[in-house]
Amino acid sequence: MTRYFSEDHEWIEVEGDLGTVGITDYAQGQLGDITFVEVPAEGASVSKGDSVSVVDSVKAASDVYTPVSGTIAAVNEALADQPELVNTEAETGGWLFRVTLSDAAELGTLMDEAAYKSYVDSL
């Protein structure tokens, strides 16, 4: 399994043609206490860069962009009652949605963990 990162602070963990997507720990820290998460509809077709999810914090709402194109395979149902999982387990249990990739080549445009860490340090 390989994990990739976007400049918009999404992570995607890929196994075969299935990717699990969430926001990074850095992003959840920037957002503050998360109060609501809007997830995409299962079965929806999405294109890389589309806003497919919205994360509400006390003061503002933030778009989450899908780092890859494909079809939404699953959403994290636990977030309905526990949106705060995105704060406490951003890179594990606080995942947002799963997507069946339509074009694995898109992963080539994303960063690996080391590159993302350098990127965050530069902000």
Shortest distance, CB of residue 32 to other proteins, whole angstroms? Answer: 5
73 Cβ contact partners less than 8 Å away, ≥ 6 residues apart: 18, 42, 97, 98, 99, 100
> Which residue in 2, 15, 61, 88 binds other proteins (CB under 8 A)?
61
Using DSSP bridges, classify how beta strands 61-65 and 70-75 pair: parallel, antiparallel or unpaired: unpaired
Q: Which is nearer to other proteins, 15 or 33 (CB)?
A: 33
Shortest distance, CB of residue 50 to other proteins, whole angstroms? Answer: 14
Q: Is 91 in the site for other proteins (CB under 8 A)?
A: no
